[in-house]
Structure 1
Amino acid sequence: MKSLLLVVVLAGVAILLSQPTFAQPNSFPFGQLESLQKEERRPMVVFISTDWCRYCSGMKLSTFRDEQVVKLLNASFYFVSLNAEEKKDISFYGHTYKYKPTGNETGVHELAEQLGSIKGQLSYPTLSVLNADMEIMYQYGGFLSAKELVFILASVKKEQKK
C-alpha cells in the first residue's frame, strides 16, 4: 500500500514538474534599470501596489501569472514591482526618492507618486509604462485583467517599432 501511494505521489509530482509554469515575470530593481537600458533599450512596466490592496493582490495572483502576460513582459519589457509604501530610499536615474510619512504608520514613497499619479491622484494598483528615455507613455489606475494587459503591452510594443 505504501509503495502504491509513493508511486501515485511521484507520478503527480512528475506531471506537475513537466508542465510549463509561468509563475511571475522577471522583476528588476530600479537601481539596475539604467545599466539594463545601456545593454538593450526596452520600455519599462512599473506595477505600483501596496500590501493591503486586494485588487493589487488579485493582479499579482492572476494577471501577472498569465502565460501571455509573462511571455510578453519577459521578452520585450523591463518589469518593476513597486510597493508604494516602501520605506527604503530608491535611486533611479541620478535621483534618490524617499518615503514620505503622512501620519502614524502611514506614508507613500516619492517614486510611487512620481510614476503613478494620474491627474494628481495615486490609486492602487497603478500600472505605468515608461519608454527607454524614462518618459511615461501610459498609465492606468485600477485592476487590469490578463486580456486587458496583453492588449496594452502589445500596443506599446507595436508603438515602439514605429
Structure 2
Amino acid sequence: MVTLLMEKYLSYTRNLLLLIGLFVTDNCLSQIKPVPITSLDSVMIQAPKPVLILLSTDWCQYCQMQKQQIRKNKKFLEKGNLFHYIEFDAESKETICFQGKDYVYKPTGANIGTHELAVALNGPDRLAYPTWILLDKDCQVLFRHGGVLRPSQINELIDTLEKSEH
C-alpha cells in the first residue's frame, strides 16, 4: 500500500516537474516576437526606434535557416529592445498600409507573385531571399543586404544599433 502511494506521488512529482520545465523552456525560447508588418505604423507612433526587417518567403530554405539563427542568437535576444524586428513574407497576399500608402500583392504568373512593399523595401536591386533591411526611426533605409547574414554579422549589426542609441 505504501509503495503504491509512493509510486503515485513520484509519478505526480515527475509530471509536475516536466510541466514546469516545458513552461520555463517555452518562455525562454519565445523572447523575440516579430512585429507584424501590418502593425508597424502604429508601433512606430507608440515607440519610435529602428526597424530590422527580414524579407523572406515560406519556400526559401535559407530564410528558414536565418530565422532559426535569430532565435538562437543571444545578442539579438538580449538587445531586442533596441529595435522592432519584422519577418515579412515577400509573397504575402495581404494589403499593407505603410507610411500612409497601400501596398498589394502583384501576381506575376500562376500562383506566383511578389508584394509591392517587398519590392519597395528591397530597392532597385533584384529581389533575393533572405534580404535584411534596417530602417531608422523615420523609416529611411540605413542598410540592405541580400543574402544570409552570418551570426557574427548579425552581432555587428546589433552592436551598431546599440552604439547609435548612445
Candidates 126, 130, 136, aligned match of 1:131: 136
**Corresponding residue for residue 53 of structure 1:** 60
Stretch deviating more after TM superposition (21-30 or 106-115): 21-30
Of 54, 64, 71, which aligns to 1:64?
71
Identity of aligned residues (%): 29
From 94, 108, 116, give the equivalent of 1:88: 94
Residue deviations 1:74-115, cap 9 Å, x none? x11111111000011110001111111111111111111111
Higher mean C-alpha displacement, 98-107 vs 21-30:
21-30
Alignment of 1:11 onto 2:22: no
- Alpha-carbon offset, residue 2 of structure 1: 5.5
Q: State the number of aligned residues.
A: 159
Q: Is there any run of 5+ residues in structure 2 with no aligned partner, and where?
A: 1-6
Structure 2 contact 104–115 (Cα < 8 Å) conserved = yes
Counterpart in 2 of 1:28?
A: 35
What is the Cα deviation at residue 18 of structure 1? 3.9
SS at match of 1:21: helix
SS in structure 2 at match of 1:62: helix
Decide which structure has the larger Cα Rg and report it: 2
Q: Is the 8 A contact 1:63 1:144 kept in 2?
A: no
- 8 Å Cα contact 1:76-1:157 kept in structure 2: yes
Distance 1:148 1:22 in 2: 22
Structure 1: segments with no counterpart, 5+ residues: none
Deviation by residue 1:30-62 (Cα, 9 ceiling, x = unmatched): 343233323332000111110001111112223
* Counterpart residue number, 1:155: 160
Tell me if structure 1 keeps the 8 A contact 2:75–2:158.
Answer: no
State the AA in 1 paired with 2:43: L
Matched, 1:120 2:125: yes
TM-score (norm 1): 0.84
- Report the residue type matching 1:23 in the other structure: S
Structure 2: how far apart are the matches of 1:108 and 1:97? 11
* CA positional deviation for 1:11: 1.9
Distance 1:54 1:126, change over 3 A: same
Partner of 2:44: 37
